[in-house]
Amino acid sequence: MNKQFTDKESAPLGNIEEWEDDLKIRYPKPKSEQAKAKDDYRNYHDSERVDTVRDFYRLNHHYQTYDFVTKKEQEFLKFDKKEMPFWEAIDYLNTLVDDSDPDTSLDQLQHLLQTSEAIRADGHPDWFVLTGFIHDMGKVLCLFGEPQWAVVGDTFPVGCKHSDKIVYPEFFEGNPDYEDERYNTKYGIYEPNTGLDNVKMSWGHDEYLYQMTKNYLPEPALYMIRYHSFYAQHREGAYDHLLNDHDREMFKWVDKFNPYDLYSKVPVPPDVKALRPYYEDLVAKYLPDTLKF
């Protein structure tokens, strides 16, 4: 548990979905969803909402330092917190309920199923469907008492200069790495085009699930999981100077995945019971029975 943070610092958002709601406003779906985007935009200008999102990013940008990420890796990548069969983990994740915003919110399982069902409907390979289905399971970090800004939020490289294409770049001025000469140049501790595998990202649900599943899924799936919140790159191209050619090839998959994550919300919630047998088989095909958290 993180006793070094106050409750307000640990949970600046009413719930963690507010980060994704904000993403949809920042990156509205082109054309067909304009009307919806307009609606969201109205909500967005509800000033309280903007303030919580701003607070969230301020904390995220202040505290996600190179050392912080290293500490979190040591803490969580031993996977010694909990062992759960896959479906128990889904139930566990689903206890992350949103009680403050009943209108807009799906539970976690519904978001996962809407994402994966949209992928399936487009005829993509089964491992891509599975990726949609599990991509946010790393959010269980919240249930281990982690602050929201160390679970969700746009991710970005640490150990080098923060791009001004990251949302609210001005908040990085409060980050100790901002003044640290090892970390505050364009390349920082990295070589030009070193490849993202050599680059430490800010800590959150993406890296955590990637590390948990890296031995079980094809490489494009792993890129989608690991970098799906790296908006500064997949939407803005802000870190081209760190990517190698292989990353560029693989980011085509990250790009392909993103619309399913952001825009797959449909009015009718998925029929969890009817879909479960298909997903049980799919999970059994690729993943071990029990996951270590």
**Positions that interact with Fe ion (CB under 5 A):** 136, 261
Q: Which residue, 136 or 247, has its beta carbon nearer to Fe ion? A: 136
Q: How far is the CB of 187 from Fe ion (least distance, A)?
A: 28
Which CB, 183 or 233, lies closer to Fe ion? 233
Output the smallest distance, CB 228 to Fe ion, in A. 5
| Closest C-alpha among 201, 242, 264, 282 to residue 36 | 264
Our CB check for Fe ion shows the closer of 115 and 188 to be 115
> Between 180 and 236, whose beta carbon lies closer to Fe ion?
236
CB 180, min distance to Fe ion, A: 29
CB of 136 to Fe ion, least distance (A): 4
Residue closer to Fe ion, measured from CB, 190 or 253:
253
| Shortest reach from residue 137's CB to Fe ion, in Å | 9
**With respect to Fe ion, which residue has the nearer C-beta, 21 or 177?**
21
Q: How far is the CB of 253 from Fe ion (least distance, A)?
A: 15
Distance in angstroms (rounded) separating the CA atoms of residues 276 and 270 = 11
Distance CA 148, CA 205 (A): 10
- In terms of CB distance, is 188 or 228 closer to Fe ion? 228
CB of 260 to Fe ion, least distance (A): 9
